[in-house]
Amino acid sequence: MSGTEKNKETLLAMMGIVTVAWLLILGATYVFFVIVRPLGPELHGANLPSYVTKVTLTLGLGASWFVVMFAISWLYLRAFRSPRTSS
Amino acid sequence: MVPGPTDVAAIALAFILPAAAMLLLMPGYARFLVARGRTTGDSHKPGGVVVPTPAGPLIMASLVVGEVAAWAFFRSPVPLVLIVVVASVGLIGLYDDLRGLGGVVKPALLAGVGLFVAVAEHLHRGVYSPVLYFPLFTETGTHYIIFALIVVASVPVSANAFNMLDAFNGEISGFTAIVSAALVVAVVLRAYALPGTSLGTVAMAVPLLATSASFYYFNRYPSRIFDGDSGSLSFGAMYVILSIVGGVEIAALVALIPAVVNSYYILSSVRGLVERKRMAARPTFLGDDMKLHASSDAKAPTTLVRMILLGGPLDERALVNRILAITAYAAFLSVVTSVMTWLL
């Protein structure tokens, strides 16, 4: 594969990473509004277990974004890394 | 909401005045910096090229001029809050430019600026709305404490994300111009969709676009001036606080994905807050072919630039064009998000 082709591939792959990050935000929005939010009453009126469950699930959604992005970077580096030496 | 003549005049002045200040004053300011010996080497060019720095004070002044224009028309306290944010963050950055700040002290000071915004909302309701608007679904409930915590954390996160993208000619100015254009689209759509929304938020948002786009003229390859931390931190803080006072946080976050991904990969690869100058190894190096190469050093941080360069070496101009292409794509997704939030 020529250098130019590989450069184009990395650009497309980076745009793919941006797309995945965006879809994860939309997916997390769906899970938040359809699953997490209906769990019990409004946060201010919730009892402790309901409050803890909702906040924990919301934080879990945020954490899942980071886990997936880390996995994608690992796949990216594995796909494009080649041995080079720095000067 | 349909803009009236006063709205149009306010938005036009809030764009024209900062752009004019930047374009007219920057040449003289650059000469002033050179005369004072405030220059630094451009490490990605051969032959010992030196460039004046920092342009941050003029960037701050330009942003302040735009916010004063917005305040003069709408008499809202929000532009005054934005002026205090820009001045405070700019001064923190200027101290960092001149003396240097540690990897923990700087975020702590920036969080203090976020705290000021949260306190301003507490003292004067309406600085921002403690509600998040999501695409396709609806808004969250009103959560003063949770939202205040988000505001406090957002300033150091965003300012440092911008700062970490400030490495190449035209990178930070082009990046800021593109994401702030997406931000302006978001606040325009919000003002159109939500009855009774003031167009003041549009007038408050356009100075960032005007300042960054006009600064790009001087900062693009080959740079005639560098912004310094005072410039990049001001851009980052202004962007995130504008997204909060404008009520368009999710769309703003989407435009910022390249910077967020860059910061996350750097922090996860170096395992913590480390000042860029103190990192064990550089992510890229300038080869004998005068092109930038990805470092193969295991200690080097994983950055957006290093990931792009894994496809092969590039000259600085081509590299920045690729970064800006990725940013433009994220800005497009941000506009799609705004349409999904306010029009669907």
Closest CA to B163 of B176, B150, B152: B176
Encode pLDDT of B247-295 as tens digits.
999 999 999 999 999 988 888 887 665 656 666 678 889 898 889 999 8
Question: Residue A85 pLDDT > 60, yes or no?
Answer: no
Mean pLDDT of B326-338: 98
Q: Looking at the domain assignment, is residue B337 inside a domain? A: no
Instruction: Give the model's confidence band at B217: pLDDT under 50 very low, under 70 low, under 90 confident, else very high.
Output: very high
Encode pLDDT of B73-128 as tens digits.
999 999 999 999 999 999 999 999 999 887 789 999 999 999 999 999 999 988 99
Q: Establish if B273 touches chain A: CB-CB under 8 angstroms.
A: no
Task: Sort out which chain B residues have CB atoms less than 8 A from A29's CB and list them.
Answer: 134-137, 250
Task: Sort out which chain B residues have CB atoms less than 8 A from A22's CB and list them.
Answer: 254, 257, 330, 333, 337
Range of the domain at B23: 5-257
Q: What is the least distance, in Å, from the CA of B46 to any CA of chain A?
A: 15
Q: Looking at the domain assignment, is residue B298 inside a domain? A: no
Q: Looking at the domain assignment, is residue B296 inside a domain? A: no
Q: Looking at the domain assignment, is residue B339 inside a domain? A: no
Q: Going by C-beta distance under 8 Å and a sequence separation of 6 or more, which residues neighbour residue B27? A: none
Mutate to test the interface with A, among B310, B326, B335 (most CBs of A within 10 A): B310
More confident residue, B328 or B302: B328
Residue B176 is encoded by which pair of tokens? 């800021």
Q: Going by C-beta distance under 8 Å and a sequence separation of 6 or more, which residues neighbour residue B267? A: B273
Cα nearest neighbour of B250 on chain A: A25
Instruction: Give the model's confidence band at A21: pLDDT under 50 very low, under 70 low, under 90 confident, else very high.
Output: very high
Q: How many domains does chain B have?
A: 1
Strands B50-52, B284-286: parallel, antiparallel or unpaired by DSSP? unpaired
- ipTM of this predicted complex? 0.90
pLDDT at B37: 96
Q: Looking at the domain assignment, is residue B321 inside a domain? A: no
Question: Is B152 strand, coil or helix?
Answer: helix
Q: What is the least distance, in Å, from the CA of B295 to any CA of chain A?
A: 6
- Quickly count: other Cβ atoms within 10 Å of residue A47's Cβ: 9
Residue B228 is encoded by which pair of tokens? 């310094």
Q: Looking at the domain assignment, is residue B228 inside a domain? A: yes
Across the interface, whether the CB atoms of B311 and A81 are under 8 A apart is answered no
pLDDT at B1: 66
Q: Establish if B321 touches chain A: CB-CB under 8 angstroms.
A: no
The C-alpha atoms of residue B305 and residue B283 are separated, in whole angstroms, by 8
Task: Sort out which chain A residues have CB atoms less than 8 A from B285's CB and list them.
Answer: 86-87
Q: Establish if B134 touches chain A: CB-CB under 8 angstroms.
A: yes
Task: Sort out which chain A residues have CB atoms less than 8 A from B311's CB and list them.
Answer: 3, 6-11, 80
Q: Establish if B195 touches chain A: CB-CB under 8 angstroms.
A: no
Q: Looking at the domain assignment, is residue B271 inside a domain? A: no
Q: Establish if A77 touches chain B: CB-CB under 8 angstroms.
A: yes
The C-alpha atoms of residue B168 and residue B199 are separated, in whole angstroms, by 35
Burial label for A51, CB within 10 Å (0-12, 13-18, 19+), is middle
Q: Looking at the domain assignment, is residue B10 inside a domain? A: yes
Q: Establish if A74 touches chain B: CB-CB under 8 angstroms.
A: no
Across the interface, whether the CB atoms of A66 and B264 are under 8 A apart is answered yes
Q: Output b/e per residue, B45-83; b: 16+ Cβ within 10 A.
A: beeeeebbbbbbbbbbbbbbbbbbbbbebbebebbbbbb
Look at A47-56, B242-251, B279-288 and tell me which has the smallest mean pLDDT: A47-56
Encode pLDDT of B156-197 as tens digits.
999 999 999 999 999 999 999 999 999 999 999 999 998 877
Question: How many cross-chain Cβ pairs, A to B, lie less than 8 Å apart?
Answer: 100
